[in-house]
Structures are given as structure tokens and as C-alpha cells.
Amino acid sequence: MNFTKTPGWLDWCANPSKPQFKLPKGSVDAHCHVFGPGHEFGFAPERKYTPCDASKEQLFALRDHLGFERNVIVQATCHGADNRAMVDACQSAGDRARGIATVRHDISEQELRELHVAGVRGVRFNFVKRLVDFTPKEELLEIADRIAQLGWHIVIYFEAHDLPELWDLFTALPTTVVVDHMGRPDVGRPVDGPEFELFLKFMHEHSSVWCKVSCPERLSISGPFATDGEHEAYRDVVPFARRMIETFPDRVLWGTDWPHPNLKSHMPDDGLLVDFIPHIAVTPELQNQLLVVNPRRLYWPEEMGD
């Protein structure tokens, strides 16, 4: 089937630069997606946007170009709970990818087991209203209990102003919980202001909560261009990401978010996104934890005894 992209859709960068920052060996891009291709894996009828295609081959080419060894491929909302494109990418990558699925509460045990064999290690609960329709709390808790038995975790995506309302649900989840994009702080507000402090408190009080210090291109107000020479791109995101990495060095992950759904202002050069990493993880030890040790612990724990 042919799909028409959402008006104003920005396609991913076709010729990203080679990063100057050399990723440590074994680095994992722990947040990325595949879209379709639409003619092979059609987009879901309930989707809120129609993207360009972004195939597994294109994702793997980016992985190799940037210097990552592995990917964690997160089911994108444009595919709803039809996980075929993500699963196909995981299967093709073999041990070089893990997946995060979207499932409905009536999924069978057999289907869950098949997802596990394909490399899925978690589900994503999305609370961003422009992306998904509401799912009742009871259904989410039912899914959570079932996937906990597989040793999976839950990825949550929400915006900072919704954290107070969602707090009780999040703290009732029985698994490790991974928060996308630092809980989407408003980086126009102070890093030590009440909104981000609440997120820090959430992580301080719950040792099972991790977060991705990803998506400066989505969070930034100052944008991709250097103006004062102090920091390069996305400098307003730096204090937030540094704070997370330095406070919780063993519970942070990083990902490109390729192919960057729904960006409106600009499409990042993924090479420059990698060059952002040493501004937020400022020592080789922190970089190794962020990019190698932590994702390995969560997604390839069987290797940790090496």
C-alpha cells in the first residue's frame, strides 16, 4: 500500500557526518525506530502521523556509520500494536538488536513468547496524548504483570507536566521502568526548578527507574547552532542531561531516536548528535557506562559475567 506522509513531515538526514567523538567499543544506540517500509509493513489505522519510510537496512547502515555495535529498536506509534516491522528488524540483526514492543492486554502467551524469541525485552507505555489514544490503567497493569514474568521491563513516554498525575501508576509498576527523553523537561525552566526536581525525586526514590538522556534535538529551544562558542548544538539541554548522568551514572541510556518522528523545526545530523555525547557524559568512565555497560546490563544481561 502507498502512504502519503503527514504534511510538513521532515525526512531523516540521508548523509550524516562522521562523528568526531569515537564511540567506545560495544556502544548501543538504545532508542531508535524503524518505519515500514509502508509497502511491506503498513502503518496502523489508528496512527496519529504517517512518516517517511525508514527501513532496517537504513538503520543498520546508520549504526555502522556512526560506530555503534547494537540497537534497541522501539516500536513506533505509527505501527500501533503491529510489531512486525520492529520484530523483522530484530530478527535480521540477530544478537545485535533488542526490541521494545507495544502490546494490547489481550495478547496471548504464545505471542509474548514469540516476541521474546525475536529479541523483545520490554513494552512501551505511551502517555503523550498527541501520539496515542488513552489506554485504561487496569489494562496497563495487566500487561505489566504479564511481561514481568518474562523478565521484561517497561519504557514510559510522558511529558514533564503530566508526571504528578501519573506518579501513582508509575510507582505501581512491578518491573524496571525506563523513562524516555528524561521525562521531556521544559529546558526553558531551571534545571534546579520544581519540575525537574520532581523527576529527580522520582528517580531518587525508585531505584528501579532508569532514564534515556536522549533527544536534545526534540527538547532544545536554543536549537542546533552554536552562538556563544561555549557549547555546540543544543546547549540548553546540556545541564539537564549532565545532571541525570552524574547523579544516576548506572541508570542512564542514550539513543539517537533515528528516524526522529514528528520533528518540526529541523532534522538533526545524526553524526552531530553523537558529537553531543561528550558534552553530557564528560569522562570516559561516564561515557562507557552510558553507552556500553548500562544498556548491556539491561538488554544483554546474559553477557555480564564475562
16 neighbors 62 (Cβ within 8 angstroms): yes
166 neighbors 201 (Cβ within 8 angstroms): no
Binding mask 145-164 for ligand 0GY (x = CB under 6 A): --------------------
Q: Any contact of residue 180 with ligand 0GY (CB under 6 A)?
A: yes
Give the one residue of 6, 208, 262, 288 binding ligand 0GY; rule: CB under 6 A. Answer: 262
Long-range Cβ contact pairs of 204-208 (< 8 A, separation 24 or more)? 206/171, 206/177, 207/251, 208/175, 208/176, 208/177
Report the distance separating Cα 177 and Cα 199, nearest Å: 13
Stretch that binds ligand 0GY, among 73-81, 82-90, 109-117, 167-175 (CB under 6 A): 73-81
CB of 217 to ligand 0GY, least distance (A): 11
Q: Any contact of residue 131 with ligand 0GY (CB under 6 A)?
A: yes
- Backbone dihedral angles phi then psi of residue 252, each to the nearest 5 degrees: -120, 150
Give the one residue of 76, 86, 147, 237 binding ligand 0GY; rule: CB under 6 A. Answer: 76
Binding mask 221-260 for ligand 0GY (x = CB under 6 A): ------------------------------------x---
Nearest one of 218, 197, 261, 213 to 5, comparing CA atoms: 261
CB of 304 to ligand 0GY, least distance (A): 27
286 neighbors 23 (Cβ within 8 angstroms): no
CB of 261 to ligand 0GY, least distance (A): 4
233 neighbors 178 (Cβ within 8 angstroms): no
Active-site annotation holder among 53, 88, 257, 270: 257
Q: Which residues contact 42 (CB under 8 A, 6 or more apart)?
A: 1, 3, 36
Residue 129 vs 201, nearer CB to ligand 0GY: 129
Q: Any contact of residue 270 with ligand 0GY (CB under 6 A)?
A: no
177 neighbors 170 (Cβ within 8 angstroms): yes
Residue spans of beta strands (DSSP E) within 158-231: 177-179, 209-212
Give the one residue of 261, 268, 271, 295 binding ligand 0GY; rule: CB under 6 A. Answer: 261
How many residues belong to the site for ligand 0GY (CB under 6 A)?
Answer: 8
| Residue 180 annotated as catalytic | no
Residue 29 vs 180, nearer CB to ligand 0GY: 180
Q: Which of residues 23-62 bind ligand 0GY (CB under 6 A)?
A: none
Residue 30 vs 93, nearer CB to ligand 0GY: 30
How many C-beta atoms lie closer than 10 Å to residue 188's C-beta? 10
Stretch that binds ligand 0GY, among 74-82, 112-120, 189-197, 296-304 (CB under 6 A): 74-82
Cell numbers of 64, please? 555502522
Give the one residue of 77, 175, 176, 289 binding ligand 0GY; rule: CB under 6 A. Answer: 77
- Strand-by-strand arrangement of the 120-126 sheet: 28-32, 70-74, 97-101, 120-126, 153-157, 177-179, 209-212, 252-253
CB of 187 to ligand 0GY, least distance (A): 15
Interface with ligand 0GY by CB under 6 A: which residues? 76-78, 131, 180, 257, 261-262
